[in-house]
Amino acid sequence: MLDRSEIGKRGYLREDYRLFYLRDSRAVKLDYHYHEFDKLVFHLAGRTEYHIEGKSYQLQPLDILLVGRNMIHQPVIDPAQVYERMVLWIDRDFLARRSTGHTDLAACFDLAGDIHLCRPRGESREQYRALFGRIRDASVSTEFGADLLADTCVLQLMIALNRDMLSPSLEGTGRSDPKMEEVTQYIRRHLNEELSIDHLSRTFYLSRYYLMHRFKAAYGCTVHQYIRQKRIQQAAEQIREGVPVLKAAEEAGFGDYSVFLRAFRSVYGCSPREQRQR
């Protein structure tokens, strides 16, 4: 988080998915954070600007925001209006199990590296509202087959969303800083190499101050915080896949193992080996 040494993650998902209905009538301030699962935000009411990895989106009623796993994001909420939304957390393994060789249900989240907003038109607006409502009703129902019905509704939602997101007519509706996107793409490709401010300044022909100021304006965090978070995320993912801890730390760009351990504990609240056991 921005008021601490690093950006933090919010929430844990131990089910296949989880739906929340949230309505805030008072001032709510959330720091930049990320999740290790995918997230959909179905915006119902309020004036909210969402920042995701350097892009900004001014939400309108019935917009659907796609936040892929490990993407750093933050909503900026106007306290003068009630902020109402449905939020669906989805485990990527659940989508993988339900996908086929011809249908990748996670494709819309992979596309969300460039476009994070689906703005439905016409009848599809109410169709999405109905799907989210059915998921909510089935998730709390005790009737026979309610769990299977909830699964079916989630799959219907993901199929509809993928069709809309993969449509050739889809256009981006967010504001971004193309130069800073180049910087972050470079960072993600070279995590195990030198990524000092001086090095980035030389690479992109920008002054140190201008780079730091422009990056903070676009992403809401410092260059150092962004690099550190992406390195921790990469190391954690490799460790879960069975890569030895030392090797994962080195490949993520941590030259000092003790620095890596402190950073890892500050984000996950446990050591890498403890996380693997969990």
Contact 90, 73 (CB under 8 A): no
Q: So what's the pLDDT on residue 112?
A: 52
Domain housing 206: 178-277
User: Does residue 122 sit within a domain?
Assistant: yes
- Residue 64 has a pLDDT of 95
> Quick check: is 265 in a domain?
yes
Residues 257 and 149 reside in one and the same domain: no
Model pLDDT, residue 134: 95
Say whether pLDDT at 156 is over 90: yes
Q: Of 2-6, 92-96, 158-162, 270-274, give the lowest mean pLDDT range.
A: 2-6
Residue 170 falls inside a structural domain: no
Number of structural domains found in the chain: 2
The CATH number linked to 94 is: 2.60.120.280
Q: What is the CA radius of gyration of the chain?
A: 20
Dist. CA 103–CA 228, nearest whole Å: 34
Give me the residue label for tokens 């490990």: 70
DSSP symbols for 137-181: HHHH--STTHHHHHHHHHHHHHHHHHHHHT-TT-----B--HHHH
Give the domain-ending residue among 115, 130, 165.
165
Q: Which of 106, 136, 165 is the last residue of a domain?
A: 165
Over residues 110-119, the pLDDT tens digits come to: 875 567 899 9
For the four alpha carbons of 9, 155, 61 and 166, in that order, the dihedral sign comes to positive
Q: Specify if 123 maps to a domain.
A: yes
How far apart are the two ends of the chain, measured CA to CA in Å? Answer: 24
The CATH number of the domain holding residue 257 is 1.10.10.60
Residue 118 and residue 38 share a domain: yes
Same domain, 28 and 140: yes
Candidates 55, 125, 43, 119; CA nearest to 87 is 43
CA distance 46 to 125: 17
Q: Of 116, 133, 165, which residue is a domain's last?
A: 165
